Chains A and B, each alone.
Chain A
């Protein structure tokens, strides 16, 4: 990797920008309801950028867990969000449930949010795994 000094020094400082944007997208999406997929893409892009600047070993350190574990965690969350449907045993798997938390304003929290977080993690894990595999070829 022969990134310039400027890129190498600034990459860790700037990593939070795509990460914050990805979290915002995760919660708001293109059009208000969540956007796990776009959020995940932006987050993965941030990590891949970091890998370009500092090498993919550094990006893996930032991620803490291996990409496959991110996928696993995401899948688990998404699957678990569907299980809550069976609070009513007659309901089909993945039936939505909503709770309205009252913290000053009414904050609707649904199983869909859990599902979206799961999608976010899966996308980040998959994309980083794929791109690091490509980078490792060089």
Chain B
């Protein structure tokens, strides 16, 4: 069982890495979902596999019956799933809004935050001391020059 789980984790991480390298944001998001699933499986496997008995305390008992599954990884995985769900939903809304604003969901089409370096108005070097002539015409963007 551990071997099967390890293989599943490996495949999931590989697929996630491939998708995260895509420039298409929805693909990247799916990659993140897969990576999160792999992480959950890691936690699940870390709690040791081996029994099918659910970790429920029987009525009247004060402790788990011997041989019950380890409840802690299940609680951790549940928490992680809920958090991952919230993050994914948020990221999805964000990607959709970005798509609406830029008309594209590819990361290379989004250049509002970091415009090509030369368009960020760089001050010309001072001519004499610190006092400088009024601003000259802005430098041409690198794209036009090249």
A40 CA / B92 CA spacing, docked (Å): 21
Which of B17-25, B67-75, B82-90 has 4 or more CB atoms under 8 Å from chain A? B82-90
Contacts of A3 in B (CB 8 A): none
Which residues of chain B come closer than 8 Å to A31, judged between CB atoms?
A: 56
Q: A134 near B96 (CB under 8 angstroms)?
A: yes
CA of A90 to CA of B126 in the docked complex: distance in angstroms?
A: 67
Give the total number of A-B pairs whose CB atoms are below 8 A apart.
Answer: 14
Scoring B82, B93, B100 by chain A CB atoms within 10 A of each residue's CB, the highest score goes to B93
Q: Which residues of B contact A133 (CB under 8 A)?
A: 93
Residues in A neighbouring B92, C-beta threshold 8 A = 134
The answer to whether B97 has its CB under 8 Å from any CB of chain A is yes
A137 lies within 8 A of B100 (CB): yes
Interface residues on B, range: 10 to 19
The binding surface of chain A is classed by DSSP as helix
| Smallest beta-carbon distance A135→chain B, Å | 11
In the assembled complex, A130 has its CB within 8 A of some CB on chain B: yes
B-facing mask of A100-138, CB < 8 A → 1, else 0?
000000000000000000000000001100100110010
Which chain B residue lies CB-closest to A130? B89
- When chains A and B are docked, how far (Å) is the Cα of A33 from the Cα of B90? 30
CA distance A57 to B57 in the complex (A): 45
- Closest CB in chain B relative to A42 CB, distance in Å: 15
